[in-house]
Structure 1
C-alpha cells in the first residue's frame, strides 16, 4: 500500500479560531485515516515566537517519529543573526514555513529576502502561504530563483489563473491541496503541469483529514497519479526513505 504523507498540519493554540489543537488530536486523525507521516509545527512559532515554537515542534517530533518537524521563521524578528537559520537542517527540520499574512509582513521585505538568501545555501524546501489574489505573482520576484522546492500553501481555486503560469515558469514549485477542493481543480493542475506538482495538505487537526484525502482519490487522477499526490511527491522532495 502506498504511503500517505500530509505536508500541512499544526498543533497548539489557535486563538483566531478559539481552538487549542493538541498533538494527540493530530496523531489520532492520522491513525484513523491511514496517514503514516505528517509534517507539522507548533502554532506558537507561527503566532508568537519562532524560537520557542521551533523548540516545541522539535520536542514533539522527537517523541513521535511519525511527525516530521517544520521550522517557522518570522522576518519581523530577524535582525541579521543567520546562525540559527543555518543550523535548521542540521537540527533535523525538513522544511521551513512562512506566514506573511498571519505575521503581518510583505514578501518583498528586505528581511524576508535576507532569510531566503541564507536558506539558499541549504536548499531546504520552503512552504509559504499564498491565499490572496496577487500573492503568487509577488512570490515570483522573491522566490523565483530559489534552488530548493517551494510549496505554495492555502491556495484557492480563485488563484488558479496565477497558479498555473507560476508552476509552468518555476519547475521546482509545488502546491499543497488543503484548499483546492473544487471539482476538477486537481485534474486541471495535473493536466497542465503534472501530478508531480501536487502535495496532500489538510491543516489537520484544524480540519479533518478524510475530506482532503477523498478529494484527491476522487479527483479524476489515475491510480499512479493519486499515489504521487498522497505521498510519492513528498517522499521525493523531502528525500524520505
Structure 2
C-alpha cells in the first residue's frame, strides 16, 4: 500500500515527526557512560506516554523477527546496526550507539535514527562511519523531489556511501510511512536513477542509510531481532522521515532545536 497524505494528515505527520526528533535529542543529551540500554527503553516509554503517543515497536511482529519486539526503541551498540533489542548492558566509554525510534501520534507515524559515540571516541573510525551515513542521508533527501523516482534517492545514497569507501547492503533500507510504520514503496540504499515509483506531494518516506565498516554482510543475533555486522565491525545508521511537497522534500523528524 502506498499512501498519499492529505494536507490535514501532513500537519499531523509534522507533529509526530517533531516528537520523534525531540525524543531522540533528549535521549542523546541524557545518555552517558554507564547508562543501561534498558534505562533508555524506559525513558523512551515515559516520553511517548507523556505525549499521548503510541510506540510502533512494542507489538511489531514482522515475518523476519521472532515474536513481538516488546520494547519502545532500538538500541544498537557498535556492531549492532538494525532492529537491536534493548537488553541489560551498561554503555562503556567510546561505544558507538544507534537509537532508532518510531511512534504514532493521532494516527500518523514517523521514524528516525541517530548514531553517536558515548563519551570520548576510541578512534576516528566511529565518527567517520556516522558522517558517511549523514552525508548519504542528506544526498538521498536532496533527491526526494516531486516527479523524481525512488531510484533517484537510492542512487544518491549508494553513490555517497560508495564514494566514502563503503560496501552497500540492500537487504534493508528505507520505506514508505503514514498511518502505519512500514509501507510501500521500498527505498533501497542503492539503485538505478530514473527507475521505480514516481514521487508525489503527500508521500512520506523514511530514508535510512546505514553502513558496516569493511563488510556488507549481516548476521542475526540469538534474540532473533538484532542484526549485526558479520565480522564484528562497528556500524552506523542515520534516518529521517521526509514529506514530499510541491516545494521539495521536508524533513519532519528534526528536533525542535534544529528547526528554523
TM-score w.r.t. length of structure 2: 0.29
- Greater RCO (CA < 8 Å, at least 6 residues apart): 2
Task: Report which of the two has the higher share of strand.
Answer: 2
Task: Report which of the two has the higher share of helix.
Answer: 1
